[in-house]
Amino acid sequence: MCGIVGYVGSKDSIPVLLRGLKRLEYRGYDSAGVAVLHENNLHFIKKAGKVSSLQSFIDDTTIKGNLGIAHTRWATHGEPNDINAHPHIDHTEKIALVHNGIIENYDSIKQALIKRGVPFTSNTDSEVLVQLISELYYNNNEKISFEDAVRAALQEVIGAYGIVVICKDEPNKLIAARMGSPLVLGIGEGEFLIASDASPIIEYTRNVIYLDDNELVTIDDGHYSISKIDSKNIVNKTLTKIDLTIEEIEKGEFPHFMLKEIHDQQHSISDTMRGRFNLEDGTTQLGGISDYFSNILSASRIYITACGTSWHAGLIGKHLIEEYARVPVHVEYASEFRYRNVIIDSDTILIAISQSGETADTLAAIRKTKKLGAITLGICNVVGSTISRETHAGIFTHTGPEIGVASTKAFTAQLTILIMLALKLGRKKNVSKNRGKKLIRALRDIDQDVVSILKNSDEVKKVAKNTWKANNFLYLGRGVNFPIALEGALKLKEISYIHAEGYPAAEMKHGPIALIDENMPVVFIAPQDDSFSKVLANIEEVKARNGIIITITDKKNNLLESLSDYILTIPNTHKHVFPITCSIILQMLAYELAICRGCEIDQPRNLAKSVTVE
Ligand code: M6R
């Protein structure tokens, strides 16, 4: 939610900031802006629309400077327009600020400042911060430093923020602070960058420091210092080396990140599994959780919490852990969990699943659980992310950066980790070595399964070409494939804006069947497993009502062919690996439908990749 970047060093900051904004655009893209200090002047440009549109305005100017800040916005307060775009500038036009987060008490501060004669220009919560800093700095009985004015302002606000702020009267200084919204400091040769994540930084340096909540960094004349916002105590932080490559964060020959990431699954699932199998013993090795493994094994209950696609992975995790490890698992939306009177004791384990590792609700659920004394584990993709640092232990998905807003390869990697975890727990309980080996062998073959699924793209395109005008889709699956139906529907909604619902196939009769007519495509997830005959009966029911039947199966038969309008066949595999491979063909279907509808695949309307506000 909003991307922020700041630069100070010997280079002109404008190109650095614009490249940084492009890398961060997945976080929000309704407006963008930059502010720089140059020859004792503060210059700024901010515009509604994408970074490319900001760039064309900047190209018509001579704006430059060695110190600057920039922002790409996902609107919370105030519509996306030029005025509400960041940076926000104080009424003296000397201070500029970019903000990611929400200031909850903005209205009371705003009213108090208005009473003091401070004029406001925008409808945002963020402007309050810059006006408050300005008031504390310029209109104060005692003279305080700019840094102290920032500190004092931050102590008045309630809410979440990652900010970067600069001031014309202290022109060598760049100040950033974090409370709830991520910030990474990059330390290069004679230059510093600060950003919402490491992607704008890696072109310049691999040395980074992840800021924690209640930390403020001041970069001044080639030096930086990090201190607590409230106490001013200096914090000594360790430098982390990031091993992200530029290729990983670019889309290469693919037209969209989403398509690249769908194709990445030819190796990303194996990358997630690498070094984690023990075929001989039919089990897995998950070093990240070894210190807590005995606690997980003896847990009386496990909660899985997450949002969106990661929550769907959690539903499958429940199925697998209960099946293999025989421990009760409760799956909760993090946004509900954090406010519910959940039953947590020292025998409870919380597993939080998050691609970004920054989702605000998931983080809040972890913090709550820690307070209640239980162990928290993370399944995250982003190394260095807040969730990966705040959980007691965890397992990384190692799937590489996921930039398309619609999650694809992170989801299949999460499922892979959950299978490995369930199997590891199961093998310590009653699951036989042979059963373990069968599952591992199926996982080991997954690369070739994915290659063969990707070869279906012409078939998928054909389905899309014939169905893209539909206003609604229904996705139906049973058992471990019910969450795949939910995920297929979510993918479609997100990028094509077609309304879609996922249901357990047998639930159709209890309501959704009323929607079926000749205009309703129904996607059936129908592997030839023990639920096949039941799903077949549901297909018959839709056929009887003239619905358009799209069947995903691992084996065609005559009856299926006669009932289905379209059949997409994917390789036969282990029933617990099938959800992974099936989700890939559903990602392809959503992608092709969105292409037919001319949608913005990587930047769907109203969405942002990482939801760092509540
Ligand atoms: O980074 P997270 O996994 O915590 O994100 C959770 C959801 O916001 C995310 O999965 C969202 O639903 C995706 N856009 C789905 O494609």
User: What are the strands of the beta sheet with 329-333, ordered from one edge?
Assistant: 329-333, 301-306, 348-354, 375-380, 393-396
CA angle 470, 471, 476 (to 5 degrees): 80
Which of 257, 307, 331, 600 best tests ligand 1's pocket when mutated (most atoms within 8 Å of CB)?
307
Report the percent of the chain where pLDDT is more than 90.
91
Distance 221 CA to ligand 1 centre (A): 39
Report the pLDDT averaged over residues 485-489: 98
Q: Whose CA is nearest to atom 9 of ligand 1?
A: 308
Q: Counting atoms of ligand 1 from 1, which one is nearest the CA of 607?
A: 14
Could you tell me the pLDDT band of residue 321, with boundaries at 50, 70 and 90?
A: very high
Candidate of 309, 338, 412 to mutate for ligand 1, largest count of ligand atoms within 8 Å of Cβ: 309
**pLDDT over 70 percentage in the chain:** 100
In whole numbers, what is the pLDDT of the chain averaged over residues?
A: 95
pLDDT of residue 199 exceeding 80, the answer is: yes
Residue 356 alpha carbon, nearest atom of ligand 1: 1
- Summarize the chain as % helix, strand, coil (round to 5): 40, 25, 35
* CA dihedral sign of residues 306, 311, 314, 318: positive
pLDDT at 246: 85
Q: What is the mean pLDDT of residues 253-260?
A: 96
pLDDT band at 461 (very low <50, low <70, confident <90, very high): very high
Instruction: With residue 133 as reference, give the H or E element that holds it.
Output: helix 126-138
Pocket, ligand 1, Cβ cutoff 6 A: 307-310, 354-356, 359, 362, 405-407, 494, 610-611
The rounded Å distance from CA 441 to ligand 1 centre is 30
What are the pLDDT digits (tens) for 77-117? 888 899 999 999 999 999 999 999 999 999 999 999 999 99
Residues 332, 340: Cα–Cα separation, whole Å: 10
Q: Mean pLDDT throughout 141-149? A: 93
Pairwise CA distance, residues 529 & 229, whole Å: 58
Pair of tokens at residue 540: 């018959």
Locate the ligand 1 atom nearest the alpha carbon of residue 309 and give its number: 10
Residue 489 CA to ligand 1 centre (angstroms): 14
- 159 CA → ligand 1 middle, Å: 22
Q: Quick one: which of 478, 385, 467, 485 has its CA closest to 183? A: 385
Residue 140, pLDDT score: 86
Q: Is pLDDT of 614 > 90? A: no
Dist. CA 398–CA 27, nearest whole Å: 21
Q: How many A from CA of 502 to the centre of ligand 1?
A: 17
The answer to whether 310 and 354 are in contact (CB under 8 A) is yes
Confidence of residue 613 (pLDDT cuts 50, 70, 90): confident
Residue 308 CA: which ligand 1 atom is closest?
A: 12
Record the tokens describing residue 52, joined without a space.
Answer: 């490319």
Asked if pLDDT for residue 197 goes beyond 80, the answer is: yes
Q: φ and ψ at 284, to 5 degrees?
A: -130, 165
For residue 410, the ligand 1 atom closest to its alpha carbon is 3
Protein residue with its CA nearest to atom 7 in ligand 1: 308
φ, ψ dihedrals at 232, nearest 5°: 70, 0
Which of 1, 197, 310 to probe ligand 1 with, by most ligand atoms within 8 A of CB?
310
Confidence of residue 244 (pLDDT cuts 50, 70, 90): confident
**Conformational region of residue 546, where left means phi above 0, alpha means psi within -120 to 50, and beta covers everything else:** left
The closest-lying atom of ligand 1 relative to the alpha carbon of residue 362 is 4
C-alpha 578 – ligand 1 centre gap (Å):
22
Q: What whole-number distance in Å separates Cα of residue 69 and Cα of residue 36?
A: 6
- Compute the distance from residue 75 Cα to the ligand 1 centre, in Å: 18
Hey, which residues are catalytic here?
Answer: 2, 609
Distance of CA 263 to the CA centre of its chain: 19
pLDDT at residue 292, rounded to an integer: 97
How far, in Å, is the centroid of ligand 1 from the Cα of 74?
15
Residue 116 confidence (pLDDT) = 95
Closest ligand 1 atom to Cα of 609: 14
Nearest to 244 by CA among 201, 187, 194, 186: 201
Residue 260: its pLDDT value, please? Answer: 97
544 Cα to the center of ligand 1, angstroms: 37
CA–centroid distance, 410 to ligand 1, in Å, is: 9
| Confidence (pLDDT) at 75 | 84
pLDDT (mean) for 42-69:
95
CA 119/CA 17 separation, integer angstroms: 29
- Give the mutation target among 316, 381, 611, 612 for probing the ligand 1 site: most ligand atoms within 8 A of CB: 611
Which residue's CA is the closest to the ligand 1 atom numbered 11?
308
Q: Are 74 and 613 in contact (CB under 8 A)?
A: no
Ligand 1 atom closest to residue 387's alpha carbon, by position in its atom list: 4
Per residue in 516-551, pLDDT (tens digit) is 999 999 999 999 999 899 999 999 999 999 999 999
Choose the residue to mutate in 258, 356, 362 for probing ligand 1, maximizing ligand atoms within 8 Å of C-beta. Answer: 356
Q: Summarize the confidence of residues 465-473 as an average pLDDT.
A: 97
Whether 384 has a pLDDT exceeding 90, the answer reads no
As a whole number of angstroms, the distance between CA 194 and CA 197 comes to 8
Q: Is the pLDDT of residue 1 over 80?
A: no
**pLDDT, average across residues 130-135:** 98
Smallest CA separation from ligand 1 atom 14, residue: 406
Instruction: Give tens-digit pLDDT for 328-348.
Output: 999 999 999 999 999 999 999
